[in-house]
Structure 1
Amino acid sequence: MNRKKLYFLLILTVVFWGSSFAAVKLGAGKLSPVHFTFLRVTFASAIFSVILTGVSSEKKRIDKKDIPTIIYLGFMGIGGYFIVQYTALKYTTSVNASLLLGITPILLALHSCLVLEEKLEGLKIAGIAICFVGITLVITKGDISSFSFGKTIIGDALMILNAVMLAAFSLGAKKVLEKYDPFIIVAYINIAAMGMLVPVVFTSNFLSGASLIDNMEYIDIRAVLAALYLAGTCTVIGYYSWYSAIKEIGPVRTSVFNYINPFVASIASFAMFDEGITVFTVIGGISIIGGVALSSMGRSKSKIRHNVHIRGRVKTDESA
């Protein structure tokens, strides 16, 4: 994919993801977070299934040995990911949750350095650091004291786990992305996640409260429209673009774009709910965009040699 097109899709994706907070706030209503998530995942699975009917059988065929990876990614990126996140939000503040989830690029960078023996250039390191400063300013509005531990330690620990899961979701797709089209992988991951959510959604438990069957009255037109928006933009377009980027530019550089989310979310909240934007939001937003730009300029060099199969022949590739 052309790099300009790829970066455009990435920016479009984080705009969708940033607006998702407002969409959930408008559409969820009395539905529990788990039930609303299931509604979104179900719609996304339906969209994926319809599109897959137009894909050749050969292209959408998955080796049986890759099914465990699909299930793993479905848990790490959608099913288990949202369960952990929603549980964490019961015990911690949204400020802490957003910042702690923002450590994902740092986790990926550390993984690249320690496990893959990949050397990160100064521009990429500086970009990550500037982004983190920007996201802190956007979320705290300059009041760093609002980022606190103590009573929120359980939720904070779960959000760190959530960041680890997001990093694992980004890294875990490397092998399957070398074999299959990103859209096929994202489609199967989402469908797998829907299957995982069924036991949670249709039973009474501490996550859902009651079975979705007992809460059908809360699924109104607003909830349906919001879930459809999230499914079509944030899941179908968003996840496809995300995995396409991971395949082309790697998980570390791709994950840095996620720092734009809080900036977009702040604008959406101001536009839809008249929530104020401070000078720190503006400064933080500029820092986020600047950090993403710096990180995109940096290039990484890997010491690992890996085999790339091209038309039945094996070629040695030293690039990361």
Structure 2
Amino acid sequence: DKPQPASSAVIQKVIEQAYDKYKPVMDGKNASYIPYLAKADGKLYGIAIVTVDGRVFRIGDAGHPFPVESVSKIFTLADVLHKQGAESVLHKIGVNATGLPFNSALAVELNNDKLGGSPPPGNPLVNAGAMATASLVEGKTLDAKWQSVIDTASAFAGHTLHLNDNVYRSEMASNQHNQAIAMLLQSYDHLYADVSETVDLYTRECSYDVDAVDLATMGATLANGGTNPRTHHAVVDAATSAHVLAVMATAGLYNTSGEWLFKVGLPGKSGVGGGIVAVVPGKLAIGVYSSRLDAAGNSVRGQLAVQFIAQALGANIFAAEAQ
């Protein structure tokens, strides 16, 4: 017998409890190194849950748009995996945790395979690996590649997503560190397209707007084997979804990914825009927005809300009752 999905009344109650419980929490602070993000209203807080049968639950500022930032990495990865296969990603990017900060150039130095056959630099969810992923996106021109990225993300969300031009310009003006990482990758033959084009594509990829309902819908598409439960559009195949969720479990929350998996037991992905998505495979996904971040770059209230909801719904993928 398949377990019955949680009733709508139960989910609604849990989402309300999570919202009320953490609304007063004002710990953490906005990302300061991107001017647009520094100005975000730290009081805003929204939660959404989307189930694999297409039910939508929302509370608070769940419709407030914000820059997707690093959460986008999972959808660009899905695009590349779906079109090029798992072997390509394994050999060209790698899927291991780096144990170093997400924007580390040192990780590229330590993990390059010219030093004796070690796997490539990290994984698709740290900046280096995400730029390597972006360099694998198919398209003859930068605009064609960008169209591929935003079309895939939009299919995950179930409607057209748009570039936030202010964020894009703000980040293009201050992305010297990422340019350096891209050059380093190129020197080790781990960048598969033009450096400046790849950095531009990567920056665009981090600069489209979403809201918490979008994140929950995008996550629910992964929970549902790659088919959007609201539009019924098959965005990617089930194997791609499973691989994306595995990488999220390994490296979705920057330096604290292991701690997150230990405490929450769900694949998740955060971004410095304040978004966080967590996926319960076969059941649902949770999207939260709150711009105030901890030292690792993860939304403080986002993490608290997801952990509360996961516990209340018994969603930890590692937990089991004795038979």
TM-score bracket, shorter-length normalisation: under 0.3
TM-score normalised to the size of structure 2? 0.27
Pair member with larger Rg: 1
By relative contact order (CA 8 Å, sep 6+), the higher-ranking structure is: 1
TM-score normalised to the size of structure 1? 0.27
